[in-house]
Amino acid sequence: MDRQTVFRTIENFVKLRSGLTSHIAPDARFREDLDLDSLLVVDIVIDLEKEFDIVLPEEDLARMATLDDAVSLVERLLGAPAAGPPPTAVPTGKAA
């Protein structure tokens, strides 16, 4: 997925949750510039996790201050192999 698509997707979630209608600059800060409270930011994070099928680590969320930070984080996570469920034991047919 290209950076522009990731940006537009995140921008749309921010607009949906915040009620903003105009273009949002990549360097717009969630709290200071967009006036989003922590609950709205959490809602946006949940939207992103569902949309991109990723988990945003808490330690990275603390550094996610701008829209561009969110784009970079999502891109990094999309480039990493998905962490699926742990492998399950395959029955061998032998009794224990």
Q: pLDDT higher for 88 or 15? A: 15
Residue 92 counted as domain residue: no
Residue 95 lies in a domain: no
Q: Is residue 49 part of a domain?
A: yes
Of 82, 21, 3, 18, residue with least CA distance to 49: 82
Catalytic residue among 2, 33, 35, 37: 37
Residue 96 lies in a domain: no
When divided into structural domains, the chain yields a total of 1
Its pTM stands at 0.77
The structure tokens 């609950």 sit at: 39
- Residue 13, classed as helix, strand or coil, is helix
pLDDT for position 86:
42
Known catalytic residue at 68: no
Q: 3-state SS of 38-59? A: HHHHHHHHHHHHHHHCCCCCHH
| pLDDT tier at 8, thresholds 50, 70, 90 | very high
- For 18-77, write each residue's pLDDT tens digit: 999 999 999 999 999 999 999 999 999 999 999 999 999 999 988 999 999 999 999 999
CATH of residue 35: 1.10.1200.10
Q: Name the residue range of residue 33's domain.
A: 3-79
Q: Is residue 41 part of a domain?
A: yes
Contacts of 25 (CB under 8 A, 6+ apart): 33, 67
Where do runs of H (alpha helix) occur along 1-96? 3-18, 38-52, 58-61, 67-79
Is position 86 within any domain? no
